[in-house]
Each structure stands twice: as C-alpha cells, then as structure tokens.
Structure 1
C-alpha cells in the first residue's frame, strides 16, 4: 500500500512538473536562424540567456532561494528578482518603452520565473526580425522627459543582457552551494537538455 501511494505521489509530482515546464519557453534553445544579421545575432544572445535562466532556476527549492553566500550578498531569490528587472529593461528597449521604475514584480518565485522567461522570449522574437536600423531605434531609456537617460542598443548588449548572464551564473553557483546542483544533462553549447 505504501509503495503504491509513493508511486502515485511521484507520478503526480512528475506530471505537475512536466505541465509546469511545458508552458514555459526555453526548455531548449530555439533553432538558430538561417542567416546571420544584426537582429538574428542579438536574438540568439537573448535566447542563450533564456535557456541558461530556464535551467538555472528549474527545480529551485525554498532553501535554495533563501541561500546567500554571506550577510552582505544577495540571496538567490534577490538575484532572481534582479534578473527579472534586467529582463524588463531588455524587453522595454524592444518595445520602445522607457523604464520609469515602480513597476511591481510578480510576488511568487513561479510567477517571477515565468514573467522573466516571457520577457526574454518577447525580446528575442522582436529582435529576430529586426534590421540594423531597428536596433538603432531600440534605445534603453531610464526616466522620462528632460531628465531621461537614453542609451543606444549597444548598451543593452553590454548592460542588462551581459549582466543577466552574469547573475544567472551566480544562481547556478548558489544552487550548487545550497545542495541542489544544476539538473544533469543541460547542454549549454547545443542549448538542449539531454536525458
């Protein structure tokens, strides 16, 4: 009886996890474009971020999210929130919207993870069909009016995209330190999960 209950419980958890992951982008990286261009290269960089973020955050437990390397360092949850903010800056550049602050982040880890992945996906899809002229129009804007700070798309690359990749690496390191390493079979070179 106990074995049957345990088996049913594990099967339910497995189905729930599969349902959760099947609704989110970046279980694997999308196929690469047929040609190189400004937009396709930028989109691929963002897709690489999405794939790495997906697996860095997949299966994080409450104790992983609470883990921090020290009193003055961010916890994994604070780092995930920061990555969400960076994803918002990236997608806002492709939407041609300013970053004015005060936008509430999702409350739960699951909602935060989903929102971040969807931001990354939206930015990638916009970039995929973008020309060089389009990229020039995707400015990173902080504030509004006369006091707005405006940066070209170049700064989106070396700013929030590179910063988000950096912090995804921190999440991977933090989860390993809290006893929950990256799932086996994650191949970042090919952008696939091998079972």
Structure 2
C-alpha cells in the first residue's frame, strides 16, 4: 500500500510539472533574426513573461499570503496587480478598451496561467507588427474614453509588471521559498 501511495504521489508531481511546462515562458523562444520595433517590443515582453513564470513557479499558500509590512500588498495581491497589468498590455495589442468590471474569482494557478497567456499573446502580436503606433492603450469609463500611445506601455504596464515581478521574488525569498536560481534571465533559459 505504501508503494502505491508513493507511486501515485510521484505521478501527481510529474503530471503537475508537465502541465506547468506547457505554460508559456518556461524558457524564452529563440530571438528574431531581424530587429524591428515589433520584434524588440516583443522581446521585452518575452523577458517579462520569463521573469513572471519563474517568480511565480512553485509558490506556496504561505508565500501567497506573505506581506512584508502592514503597508504592503501580499504576494497574491501583487500577482493580482500583475494580472491586471497584463490585461492592459494584451488589450492594447488586441485594440480593445480597458473597462473596469467586477473581476471573477480565480485560483492562483488560473491567475498565473491567464497572466502568462496574456503576455504571450501580446508578444506574438507585436512580433509580427511593423507599426507599434496602432497599439494604443485605451481606458473607457463613465467619464469618457482616454487613449495613450504605445510608448506608455513601455514605461507604464510593462515596466510596472517587471518591477512587481522583482517584488514577488523578494517576497518569496522573505517567506523562505527562493525562486529557481537556474532560471537565467540573461539568456532566458534554464541551466541544467
């Protein structure tokens, strides 16, 4: 009976790892052979995806609940914020306005997956683009519609999401669960 439990436990771990590896950004795809506005912007977003993947990989409940001070967000609240930023980024590339709505409750795994999909979708659209000026950030509310050029994506939601990935890594270290140091952000690969 003990052997069956051990085997089932190992199968569960292998299954979870296989599902996790199917998410985008376990590693960054090969770089483009040409430099265009679209390929450069996509590579910046790919870097965000890789950092987010490894910042959030293997987080435990106690990591998600960690808050460095009463004035700070928890790790999970920070992840919620990154999810929101990823929606602004992908909506820009989909040419959709950002409209505040009541958010559905998602599990951490669902938030993580959706954030990675949003990031990958945005990067793929930009990679194929020649003209980034068509990807405006649009906010729509009861006071009107507000548009910002793609430039604001760089210093706004993309830069902010990168900043917060660093916070998640810092928080998880503080809660006793450092990220996988074999994930090399310089090359976008996992060292063996």
- Class of the TM-score when normalised by the shorter of the 2 chains: over 0.9
Aligned to 1:157: 154
Inter-partner Cα distance in structure 2 for 1:21 and 1:38: 31
How many matched pairs?
Answer: 192
Q: Which residue of 1 aligns with 2:180?
A: 183
Q: Does the CA contact (< 8 Å) of 1:55 and 1:182 recur in 2? A: yes
Shift of 1:174: 0.3
> Partner of 2:34 in structure 1?
35
Query: 1:6 Cα deviation (Å)?
Result: 6.5
In structure 2, stretches of 5+ residues that fail to align are none
Say which of 134, 138, 145 aligns to 1:137: 134
TM-score (norm 1): 0.93
How much has 1:31 moved relative to structure 2?
Answer: 0.7
Cα displacement (A) at 1:116: 0.3
Alignment partner of 2:147: what SS?
strand
Asked whether the equivalents of residues 96 and 139 of structure 1 are also in contact (C-alpha less than 8 Å), the reply is yes
What TM-score comes out, normalization by structure 2 length?
0.94
Question: Is contact 2:133-2:150 (8 Å) kept?
Answer: yes
In structure 1, the residue matched to 2:95 is 96
Spell out, residue by residue over 1:123-151, the C-alpha distance to the aligned partner (whole angstroms, 9 max, x if none).
Answer: 0000001112xx10100011158721210
Mark the runs of 5 or more structure 1 residues left unpaired by the alignment: none
Tell me which of 153, 171, 175 is aligned to 2:168: 171
Mean Cα deviation higher: 160-169 or 4-13: 4-13
The match for 2:112 is 113
- The aligned residue for residue 80 of structure 2 is 81
Displacement of 1:79 in angstroms is 0.3
Following the alignment from structure 1 to structure 2, what is the Cα–Cα distance between the partners of residues 41 and 105?
33
Cα offset for 1:119? 0.2
Whole-Å separation in 1 of the counterparts to 2:25 and 2:67: 26
In the TM superposition, structure 1's runs of 4+ consecutive aligned residues that sit over 6 Å from their partners are: none
User: SS of the residue aligned with 2:151?
Assistant: helix
Across the aligned residues of Structure 1 and Structure 2, the Cα RMSD in angstroms comes to 1.7
The secondary structure found in structure 2 opposite 1:143 is strand
Residue by residue over 1:61-87, the C-alpha shift from the partner in whole angstroms, topping out at 9 and shown as x without a partner, is 000000010111100000000000000
